[in-house]
């Protein structure tokens, strides 16, 4: 799945694996096939059904009736993109050596611009919100972006937005928790860990996992 794959790539870069490491490049093939973008890099039947440049969690291995899973599938059988996976996909592509001019990166950045938010996990609402904050910060830092321009042309200092939002959600005891218990984020230990990781990415010029690998 895209979540574990993105962690694997980040871990390899952290232990000095280069962007051309065979394992990272093999992973990039899978990542490219989890993007809603029809290209030479995506040969799945889902590639051109949504075509918004976002990412989804995994590639189905069996046919599922879209009407039975409206959260996951579009009416035409495509796979819905959502925020946490799109940021995971972008981060992974950056660590795999893709540049902003690559069509896959450009499409992911366009999706992010069109769905910019620190109030929800776009496409999933409050589900996985703190995981989303973590991937949001990690991805934008890895991509060396200081601001995001949204669909209305407004510039956002994403660090300031994220810090402000997390400050507003912090509990009196210093923890964070998600009222939505999906993926166990109602557990303060998990949500707080994700929140602290997200805040760590807000430090300007913070060391990135691939800094020492170049």
Better pLDDT: 203 or 188: 188
Per-residue confidence (pLDDT) for residue 166, from 0 to 100: 98
Grade residue 204 by pLDDT with cuts at 50, 70 and 90.
Answer: confident
Per-residue confidence (pLDDT) for residue 63, from 0 to 100: 72
Note the pLDDT tens digit of each residue in 3-42.
999 999 999 999 999 999 999 999 999 999 999 999 999 9
Per-residue confidence (pLDDT) for residue 152, from 0 to 100: 95
Per cent of the chain over pLDDT 90 is 86
Q: Which of 11-20, 41-50, 177-186, 205-214 has the lowest mean pLDDT?
A: 205-214
Per-residue confidence (pLDDT) for residue 193, from 0 to 100: 98
Beta-strand pair 148-149/155-156: antiparallel
Whether pTM > 0.85 for this model: the answer is yes
Per cent of the chain over pLDDT 70 is 93
Mean pLDDT of 143-153: 96
Grade residue 50 by pLDDT with cuts at 50, 70 and 90.
Answer: very high
Grade residue 70 by pLDDT with cuts at 50, 70 and 90.
Answer: confident
Grade residue 157 by pLDDT with cuts at 50, 70 and 90.
Answer: very high
Grade residue 212 by pLDDT with cuts at 50, 70 and 90.
Answer: very low
């Amino acid at each position: 799945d895209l979540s574990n794959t993105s962690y694997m790539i980040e871990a390899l870069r952290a232990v000095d694996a280069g962007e051309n490491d065979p394992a990272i490049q093999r992973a990039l093939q899978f990542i490219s096939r989890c993007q809603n973008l029809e290209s030479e890099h995506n040969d799945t039947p889902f590639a051109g059904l949504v075509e918004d440049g976002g990412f989804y969690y995994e590639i189905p291995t069996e046919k599922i009736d879209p009407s039975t899973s409206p959260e996951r599938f579009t009416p035409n059988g495509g796979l819905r993109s959502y925020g946490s996976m799109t940021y995971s996909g972008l981060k992974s592509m950056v660590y795999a050596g893709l540049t902003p001019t690559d069509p896959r990166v450009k499409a992911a950045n366009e999706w992010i611009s069109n769905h910019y938010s620190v109030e929800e996990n776009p496409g999933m609402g409050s589900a996985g919100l703190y995981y989303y904050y973590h991937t949001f910060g990690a991805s934008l830092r890895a991509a060396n972006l200081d601001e995001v321009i949204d669909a209305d042309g407004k510039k956002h200092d994403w660090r300031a937005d994220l810090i402000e939002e997390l400050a507003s959600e912090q509990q009196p005891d210093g923890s964070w928790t998600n009222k939505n218990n999906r993926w166990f984020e109602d557990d303060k230990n998990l949500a707080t860990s994700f929140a602290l990781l997200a805040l760590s990415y807000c430090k300007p010029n913070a060391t990135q996992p691939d800094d020492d690998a170049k």
